[in-house]
Structure 1
Amino acid sequence: MQEQTRSQKKRPTHINPSTATNPIPDSDQMPRPRSQWWSVTTARDRCHRRSFTSAGLRPAFFPLKDGATLHIWVPASPSPSSRRALVLLHGFGARATWQWSPFLRPLIRAGFDLYVPDLLFFGDSSSPTAHRSDVYQARSVMEALTSAGLDHFGMVGISYGGFVAYQIAALYPNAVDKLVIVSAGVCLEESDLASGLFAVSDMAEAASLLVPQQPDDVRQLVKLTFCKPPPIMPTCFIRDYIQVMCTENVKEKTELLYALINGRKFADLPKINQETLIVWGDQDKVFPLELCHRLKVLQFLVIICILYVYILLISFVETV
């Protein structure tokens, strides 16, 4: 639900983190419209970004061969080779900072070097091409990670990020050591929409919720994604959130949804060999628990309804 970079932002110069001597300027130092200084959402966005910089990460931009640009938060300082690389992929409703800021310090203390991309059309990542599939996202992320100097790593993907992480594991089995999928219905089929498995019955309804443009859409999305949604959601705050986070790349994000679902069949899901952990909420209304049980057929390790998930993730991937 949380997503979108601020408009009218000056793009920093492309750099390679292995050769750069100075971090890219934080966007908080760049000019923004006066109205955004009074925005609750903008203030929260700045706090999330600062949690990344204070944890020792900095933003870097990686130009790709097809003209796309992938933005990744990378370690600010070189680390010993003994530290393990862990890639975190955000969900459909969030840019990297909003999704992962609470998990940074526990994972860093556990000995990980974190690489946290904005997927294409989210946050500060962009692409001029017409490609919208999760396979395209996977290839783009891998190209950028290779430019960042990574040749093997562990990976965690939540929701839409789980779809992309699964494809990376399938396409690059020698690069991904271990995989964690969090509430990602990678085994869904297009026919599941019509059969009533989901809270929505067609793609248009799904897009109106996942790319919300009206306050009622946000309220409905919160009811679906929170086990205990807030009892009061003032319209003024919702409109502020939509204006700051949900007004860019609306067309492209909607196309990502259609590309993800149209013609999808469980039988076409590629098999992966990496040791994989699935974390799922037993009250998940976006991707129902039945999808978790489908994946269990593939003999993954399944954990349902985990509290303090980051502890579980650390214990699972710490041998990477």
Structure 2
Amino acid sequence: MKHIKKITITLLVVLLLTACGTKNADNKGEANNDGKDLPVLRVAMMPFITSLPTEYIIENGLDVKNGFKIESTMFSTGAPMNEAVAADLWDVGAMGAAAVTGVANYDMMIIGEVLESLDGLGIFTKPAHPAAKVKGLNPSFPNVYGDKESVKGSTILLPIGTAQHFTTLKWLEKIGLKQEDVNIVNMETVQAYQALKADQADMAALNVPTFFDAVNDDMVQLGNLADLGTRYVDMIVANPKAVEGKQELIQKYVNLVMEANAEINKDKEKAADLMMEFLKKNGVEQSRESVVGDLERANFIEKDAWKDRDLGLFAKELGEFYIAQGQIDASLTEKFETSIDSQFVK
């Protein structure tokens, strides 16, 4: 009996170790359920809707079905993601405005686009501010509020060098002002909005989800990128080493992103369910109402869109903005031509 027990225990241990080993190998992309070797694509992600298509791919096992395995790494924002590509820590990912500094400083490639925002970036003020009472000064942009008299000398809070900064300068341009005509103070988005509510500034440039807080609080939106004739684009970016060495895997990934985008566009409520789980898994608290609003403002780029769409137009426009602001050396202008590679979307 003791001998039988020893054999039983030994078999149990072997089975447990075998099961654990199979699971770990599968998670790393070294093997799938059939024991076949799978090549790995290292994907950088962030806990925003920018990475929702990748989450869809992972959750539905589309990578494995297409003969490769995604190994994901989560980043809080685009800045550390840029630094990580310089250290060759990921192959492909998605980001917004930070892609411009990634191209300029780290030779990152722009190989596709995930979504364009129809809303979600804007400059807000309180209803009592004089600028909130002037609308349609520029007939080409009838939804824009403010004029020279009501805005000149105002203090505007925003994180400098970001999409909010870009939006603010676009807005000032439309009402006939320049950056030097106002007082721009560098401040992170959440703190900027709290300061606006506490009457410590005239205006604040906000993005999602704080953008929706301002809308719900009946703040007046003086202008957003959609009203200003520009749509904000989140881009698919790549490590140049991966573009050279993992072309086939990257092509499969880009194809799957566009496939996931079509599913997200088709059912935003179902996409909101996935987004809520994605945020929860990554320790981010956000209301479902905010998530649904975030999804509704975005158009995820599908395959058919590339018949008439040119890659990198927003990146070039944003690059020009950074150069004008002195944050990128003018000598790097050429990179916004050479670092845009449309082979994977065309």
* TM > 0.5 fold call: no
Structure number with higher helix proportion: 2
Greater RCO, CA 8 A, separation 6+: 2
TM-score, structure 1 as length reference: 0.31
TM-score, structure 2 as length reference: 0.29
Q: Which has the larger radius of gyration?
A: 2
